[in-house]
Structures are given as structure tokens and as C-alpha cells.
Amino acid sequence: MTSEVPQADRQGEAVDLVVEAGGAHLPRLLEAVEARLREVAAAPGGAVGGWAEGTIAAGGKRLRPLLVLLAAGAVTRGQDALVRAAACVELVHAATLVHDDVLDAAPLRRGRPTVWAAAGREAATVTGDHLFARAFSELAANDDAEQVRVLSRASSALAEGELLQRSDAWDTAVTPERYLRRCELKTARLFEAACVLGELAAAREPGLGPYGRRIGLAFQILDDILDVSGPAERTGKLRGTDLLDGTVTLPLILAGLEDLDLHPGITPAQAERICDRIVATGALERARARALSLVVEAKEMLPGDLTGAQRRALLLVADGVVERYA
Amino acid sequence: MTSEVPQADRQGEAVDLVVEAGGAHLPRLLEAVEARLREVAAAPGGAVGGWAEGTIAAGGKRLRPLLVLLAAGAVTRGQDALVRAAACVELVHAATLVHDDVLDAAPLRRGRPTVWAAAGREAATVTGDHLFARAFSELAANDDAEQVRVLSRASSALAEGELLQRSDAWDTAVTPERYLRRCELKTARLFEAACVLGELAAAREPGLGPYGRRIGLAFQILDDILDVSGPAERTGKLRGTDLLDGTVTLPLILAGLEDLDLHPGITPAQAERICDRIVATGALERARARALSLVVEAKEMLPGDLTGAQRRALLLVADGVVERYA
């Protein structure tokens, strides 16, 4: 049903462009982040280490670590600190995904069985806890309390956003403002944190937070658009997955479907029909316009003191957030 | 059914004795820890902050923070760092309890509805995540990476211990060694971490870890004895709760009940009958002897450079771990 390979390839190409623009040091640093992620996740050994490593090995876009590295600019000293900062953001992201999969009873992620599906909710809950703990341990080695505070605040925001999403479930009267607030907590704050951590780890004055926050918001809006637009062969997941969870997103809100009956127990076929109705209203174009305007804002907010390579790479990341199919 | 007040009183008396022995500075520091716990839990505001604060407000023995303070000895400078270290250990403990309650579908803890019961598994999962994140953020303010590493390792051990317990569920052939390994991961490592953090926060050479680990083990064994012995009016929970979860503990292992049929779906009445059978074998006395010998070992392992007040208080804590009824 899903088509992982073309999706991965497209993603790979986009990342390649960014890496090419960002500088010759990036491929080696990204590799170091990858190795560090594996090592940290597996560290305690045992079953928990195994599940955590498997979660990391399943891959992902690594967009947040890439942002950390790009925010740091051309770093010649202290690359270990930068690699740790990049790894810890991905570890927090991975921890929340493992816990989300428990709450959603999700069978697959990135084409592999989730920890929940393979080993049960106990294993998945503690694997997420372990990934959280290791993220902070990893970052603490940078000996900068401010970095840990940045990550901790973003983690608490993720928790709050997740709860907001679930408390608003099935409520079709959610306002765009409330939706955006949820996206800010659930997604944008960690993007912002990635940028700030990269700057702090490179001993730069933080200035990329506003950029990070906006591309995070745009990223989430596009995720929500792709859930409605599909097609499944491109996105790698069924259309209307959000509707099955009762998650009301911007396309649905902007569609203004007055007579909509969204209720627990909705079938995939019903969800797909609602997706068709949303598409017919033109709401996807309006949602995409919102995402694009956030990307424009993000670009305008890039600080003036970036190197040419850094600016080019960050502009490409901003564009990539909305020009993607998976 | 439960009798909270006498239990709390008894616990209060024991802590009072320790505090009296430990020194005049302790009551103020314990109050500061309590205030800090509330503040940190509630910090992000919103629903998650509310649930986290409620969890903390429900109370608890605060044995781990007390260990942190006692391990530090007479501290005249850097009391803020010590309070933070004490708070973070309790935050990790609280986080795991909130997650445990989800996994156990536990309606009550400390006489109050659990977050799971009051707000559902989503709220409880993210509340636990938030408490974890804040624990590390709090500790990071001490600007000592070693302290964060100590807490992180203990947190990962907790996760591994929890998983071991659940993977061994319903297995009546578990050996005492495997049981002790589980207790070490699930309980003793955080007691050890509490001692080491107190020492590090007070800039003392760590020497209390072996003591902490042993009293943690003894503490867990006594918990498991109380689950079998009851009575419910004293312990505040039904006898045989562990059996209902399939958790095989030292009393059951030492009882050697050859024909025991422990299976999912066991009723509270059946669990109580198994408790009676365990009691009849004298296994509780043998388990208590194991706990007592760990306490003796713990006391022998107290370093030689403690102050008189510190030594007296730590000896009282060690005794209190096995001389309790709740």
C-alpha cells in the first residue's frame, strides 16, 4: 500500500541540496550525529536499549538535527558539542513519536512496526522515557545550563501541545487560532529550539529562533495538508488519518463544512470522503497559502550576520518545508 | 477501606526523627524542596502544568529528596543547588509513577485519583513526559554535567527495570537473583543516585552510593512484603495487588508454592488466598531477613568521614526502610 522508496529518494534529494549549499563540513557532521544517535539510544543495553536503537535506526528526515547544524554556521571548534545538540533534539522528537504511537495504537511508522506494535505499551512507554532521559544527558555534556533549559521548555511545550490536540479531538468548532497555538506547542517550539541550540553550541548570539518557529508552523500545516491531499502512494500513509483520530486541522477548519459529522468510530472510507469534500472547497490552497506566508516571514526574519552558505541553506530548508510530498 | 491518616502520621513521625537527628537546617531545606517541586511542576501553566502540580501536591514520603539532603551533610553554601538536586530526584520518581499508573490502569494513588483515572492516558503520558523534562532542566541549572549523567543513568535503569518486571509478569519460575536485579534497576539505582547527587551538589567526594543502593533494595523488598502481609487498613492498599498484576516478588519466590496457578484475570479474593498461603510458609520472615541483612550491609558501608549528625540520620533512614507499615 505504501511506497517508501520514491518518498525517501525525494527527501534525500532535498537534503542533498541543502547540504551542498550549507558547506563541505555538513556531510561529516550529519554522519557523526547519526552515529551518536545510535550509540546514545543503545547505551544502556538490555531490551530498552534495543527498542530505542531500533526506533532511531528506522530513520526519519533528521530535519531538526540539520537545523541545529545549519544554525551553528561554519564551526571549526567545538564540533562535539554541536553534534550532541543535534542528537538531543532528534532524541526528544523520537521519544514523543514512540509515546504518540502508544496513544494512537499505531501499527507502523516509517514502514516498520512501532515499538507499541512489536513489544506492547509497556515497552513503548519506557522506551520513550529512556529516549527523553538520554536526550538531556547528552545535552548536559555541553556544560551549558541554558541549552538544557531550551530543550526542556520545548519538551514541556510538546507535552502541552499533544494534550491540547487530544482535548480538542472531534471538536469541529476549533478556531484557526487555537489550531495554530496547538501547532506552535506541538511542532514549532522544537524547531525553534533546534535553531537556538545550534547557535548556543557554536557560541553565537541566538537570532534564528523566530525563523525556526515559523518554519515549524509551516511544516505542521503542510503535514496536515498532505494528510488530506494524499495520495497515499506519495505520502506513505492513508488519506484522512487525522480524521480517524478526531484531529481537526487547518484544511478542515478552512473548508467550513457546516453539516460535517465527525465522530469516534469513523471509517477510513468515510474519512476519505470527507477529504474529497475538503479538497472540493479549495481549503487546501488556502491552507497552503498560510504555510507559504509563514515561510516568507521566516525568510525575512533571517538575521543579517549569516554567512552566504548558511543563508542559502536556511532558505532552501524553508522552501523545502512546504515543497514536499511526504 | 483505606486508612490514610494513621499511615501518614506514622510516616511523619519517622521523618521527624530523621530530621531531628540530621540537623537544624533540614526542615527549612525540606520546605524549600517542596516549594520548588510545586513551582517546577506547575511551571508551563496549562493543563499539563495543572496535572503535574496535582501529582506533586498529592504528597509522598519524599524519602529520595531527604536522602539527597542528608548525603550533602551540613551545607552552608550552595543550598539552592542542593534543593534543585533534591527536587529533580522526586520529579523523576513522580514521572515514573504517573506512567506506571497508566500501564497499571490504577484508579488511586495516595488516596487521590491518578492522572490516568481523572484525565485519561493521553494526559497522564504527557504529564509524565513533562515531569521528566523538568527534572533534567532543574538539575541542569546546577551547571554540573556529572549530576545530569547520574540522574539520566538512573532514569534509564528505571525504564529497564520496569520493562523487566513486565516481561517477567506471571512467570512464577523467576529466580531470586532476577528479582533482585529488577529491584536494583527499578528502585535501588534512584536511591543510589539521590545519595550521589547530594554529595556532588555539596561538592563532596561521592561515597554514599553503595549505602543508597542497598537501602533502595531493602525498601523494595519491604514494599513487596507489605503487599502480601497487609493489612489493608495499615498499608492503604489491598493485599495481593502485585499478584493481580502478575508481578512475582520475593515473598512468593521464597514461599516455593509448587502447585501455584498464577494467571491473568486472577480475582482479588484469589490473590488474598495466595497471600495467606505465602504467609503460612514463613516466606515473609525470610524475605524480611534478606531486607534486614541489606540494611546491615548499608550501615557498614557508610563512609568514615561523615559528621555525627549525618551518620545518625542515615542510620535512622536505613532502619526506617524496613521498620515501616506503609
Residue B222 CA to residue B249 CA, distance in Å, equals 10
Interval A220-237 mean pLDDT: 88
Per-residue pLDDT of chain B (326 residues; tens, 9 = 90+): 333 434 444 556 677 788 888 888 899 999 999 999 999 999 877 888 999 999 999 988 899 999 999 999 987 778 999 999 999 999 999 999 999 999 888 888 888 899 999 999 889 999 999 898 889 888 988 988 889 889 988 998 998 898 889 889 999 999 999 999 999 999 999 999 999 999 999 999 999 999 999 999 999 999 999 999 988 777 777 899 899 989 999 999 999 998 888 999 999 999 999 999 999 999 999 999 999 999 999 999 999 999 999 999 999 999 999 988 77
- From B59, B50, B56, B58, select the one nearest B37 (Cα to Cα): B56
Q: Which triple of cell numbers denotes residue B46?
A: 496549562
Interchain CB distance below 8 Å, B149 and A137: yes
Instruction: Tell the residue number behind the cell numbers 479538497, with chain if given.
Output: A279
Residue B87 CA to residue B134 CA, distance in Å, equals 10
- By CA distance, what is A141's nearest residue in B? B145
Interchain CB distance below 8 Å, B140 and A155: no
Which three-class secondary structure string do you get for A51-82? HHHHHHHCCCCCHHHHHHHHHHCCCCCCHHHH
Query: How do residues A48-102 score in pLDDT, each as one tens digit?
Result: 899 999 999 998 889 999 999 999 998 777 899 999 999 999 999 999 999 999 9
- By CA distance, what is A133's nearest residue in B? B152
Q: At what angle do helices A209-229 and A63-72 cross, to 10 degrees?
A: 160
Pick from B48, B126, B163: which is nearest to A48 by CB?
B163
Q: Are A132 and B133 in contact (CB under 8 A)?
A: yes
Strand partners, A109: A112
**Distance (Å) from the C-alpha of residue B63 to the closest C-alpha of chain A?**
22
Interchain CB contacts (distance < 8 Å): A and B? 159
Pick from A126, A145, A164: which is nearest to B140 by CB?
A145
- From B98, B77, B74, B85, select the one nearest B36 (Cα to Cα): B85
Interchain CB distance below 8 Å, A132 and B130: no
Interchain CB distance below 8 Å, B122 and A130: no
User: Where do the DSSP E strands lie in chain B?
Assistant: 108-109, 112-113
In this prediction, residue A4 carries a pLDDT of 40
pLDDT of residue A236 exceeding 90, the answer is no
**Distance (Å) from the C-alpha of residue B70 to the closest C-alpha of chain A?**
25
Q: Which triple of cell numbers denotes residue B307?
A: 559528621
Residue B272 CA to residue B289 CA, distance in Å, equals 23
Interchain CB distance below 8 Å, A126 and B153: no
| DSSP label at residue B236 | S
Of chain A, the percentage scoring pLDDT greater than 90 comes to 66
In this prediction, residue B117 carries a pLDDT of 93
Instruction: Tell the residue number behind the cell numbers 498499608, with chain if given.
Output: B235
> In sequence order, which ranges of chain A are alpha helices (DSSP H)?
4-22, 26-42, 46-57, 63-72, 79-104, 115-140, 145-167, 176-183, 189-201, 209-229, 232-235, 241-245, 250-255, 268-280, 283-300, 308-322
Pick from A128, A142, A159: which is nearest to B130 by CB?
A159
Interchain CB distance below 8 Å, B152 and A134: yes
- From B225, B80, B57, select the one nearest B141 (Cα to Cα): B80
In this prediction, residue A144 carries a pLDDT of 87
Of residues A317 and A143, which shows the higher confidence score? A317
Q: Are B154 and A129 in contact (CB under 8 A)?
A: no
- From B189, B132, B162, select the one nearest A120 (Cα to Cα): B162
> What residues contact residue B118 under an 8 Å CB cut-off, 6+ apart?
B51
In this prediction, residue A104 carries a pLDDT of 85
Q: Are A165 and A247 in contact (CB under 8 A)?
A: yes
Burial of B111: CB neighbours in 10 Å, binned 0-12, 13-18, 19+: middle
CA angle, A144 as apex, A139 and A146 as ends, to 5°? Answer: 95
Cis omega before residue B231 (within 30°)? yes
Residue A34 CA to residue A90 CA, distance in Å, equals 10
- Concatenated DSSP letters of B199-231: HHHTTPPP--HHHHHHHHHHHHHHHHHHHHH--
- From B185, B188, B187, select the one nearest B156 (Cα to Cα): B185
Q: Give the C-alpha distances (Å, rounded to integers) separating B26 from A113, B139, B302.
A: 50, 20, 20
Interchain CB distance below 8 Å, B164 and A99: no
In this prediction, residue B34 carries a pLDDT of 96
Residue B250 CA to residue B253 CA, distance in Å, equals 5
- By CA distance, what is B165's nearest residue in A? A122
Say whether B113 sits in a helix, a strand or coil: strand
Q: Which triple of cell numbers denotes residue A108?
A: 507502523
Phi and psi at residue B283, in whole multiples of 5°? -65, -30
CA angle, B75 as apex, B70 and B78 as ends, to 5°? Answer: 115
Residue A96 CA to residue A103 CA, distance in Å, equals 10
Burial of A8: CB neighbours in 10 Å, binned 0-12, 13-18, 19+: middle
Say whether A204 sits in a helix, a strand or coil: coil
Q: Which of A39, A88, A122, A167 to mutate to test the interface with B (most CBs of B within 10 A)?
A: A122
| Residues on chain A touching B166 (C-beta within 8 angstroms) | 120, 122-123
Interchain CB distance below 8 Å, A141 and B149: yes
| DSSP label at residue A205 | P
In this prediction, residue B270 carries a pLDDT of 94
Pick from A99, A122, A136: which is nearest to B125 by CB?
A99
- Concatenated DSSP letters of A242-256: HHHHT---HHHHHHT
A25 — pLDDT class (breaks 50, 70, 90): confident
In this prediction, residue A109 carries a pLDDT of 86
**Distance (Å) from the C-alpha of residue A98 to the closest C-alpha of chain B?**
11
> What residues contact residue B24 under an 8 Å CB cut-off, 6+ apart?
none
- Tell me: ipTM over 0.85: no
**Distance (Å) from the C-alpha of residue A90 to the closest C-alpha of chain B?**
15
Interchain CB distance below 8 Å, B136 and A152: yes
Strand partners, B109: B112
| Residues on chain A touching B149 (C-beta within 8 angstroms) | 137, 140-141
CA angle, B163 as apex, A103 and B145 as ends, to 5°? Answer: 90
Query: How do residues A186-200 score in pLDDT, each as one tens digit?
Result: 999 999 999 999 999
Interchain CB distance below 8 Å, A137 and B122: no
pLDDT of residue A11 exceeding 60, the answer is no
| DSSP label at residue A281 | T
pLDDT of residue A252 exceeding 50, the answer is yes
In this prediction, residue B203 carries a pLDDT of 92
Bridging pattern class, strands B108-109 and B112-113: antiparallel
**pTM for the full predicted model:** 0.85
Residue A251 CA to residue A117 CA, distance in Å, equals 30
Burial of A37: CB neighbours in 10 Å, binned 0-12, 13-18, 19+: buried
Interchain CB distance below 8 Å, A123 and B166: yes
The terminus-to-terminus CA distance of chain B in angstroms comes to 15
Residue A72 CA to residue A126 CA, distance in Å, equals 32
Instruction: Tell the residue number behind the cell numbers 537534503, with chain if given.
Output: A15
Residue B19 CA to residue B26 CA, distance in Å, equals 6
Interchain CB distance below 8 Å, B163 and A136: no
Interchain CB distance below 8 Å, A121 and B99: no
Residue B132 CA to residue B124 CA, distance in Å, equals 12
A7 — pLDDT class (breaks 50, 70, 90): very low
